[in-house]
Amino acid sequence: MPPLVTRQRVIAQVPYLAIGLIVAAGLVLVSFEYWRRGVVTIGGAMGLAGLLRLLLPARRAGLLSVRSRGFDVAAYGFLAVALIGIGLAIPAPVV
């Protein structure tokens, strides 16, 4: 019986881990009340996820591949544009 955890399977999850770390950094920013920066950071992570999903073959995309490549890229792209747009469009409060 072949091993369940192989080096190839672990390496395939590196892009997913990278996106997860960037999203976590964005959530930390949001928790410290830098929510505009946090939302833009999360939006950037979604844009990077879409780019990685577009460029990486299916066996290397790991958990970034949910549906077909076209759907995944479109969904990540939509999320990136929406989150970055929201983060940049809402003005900062006047102190």
Distance CA 58, CA 12 (A): 9
pTM value?
A: 0.87
Distance CA 50, CA 53 (A): 5
Domain boundaries, the chain: 22-89
CA-based nearest residue to 40, from 93, 94, 92, 80: 80
Q: In a structure prediction context, what are the per-residue pLDDT tens digits for the chain, which is 95 residues long?
A: 777 778 877 777 888 899 999 999 999 999 998 999 999 999 999 999 999 999 988 877 777 788 889 999 999 999 999 999 999 998 887 87
The packing angle between helices 69-89 and 35-55, to 10°, is: 160
> Sign of the C-alpha dihedral, residues 74, 77, 81, 84?
positive
Residue 39 has a pLDDT of 96
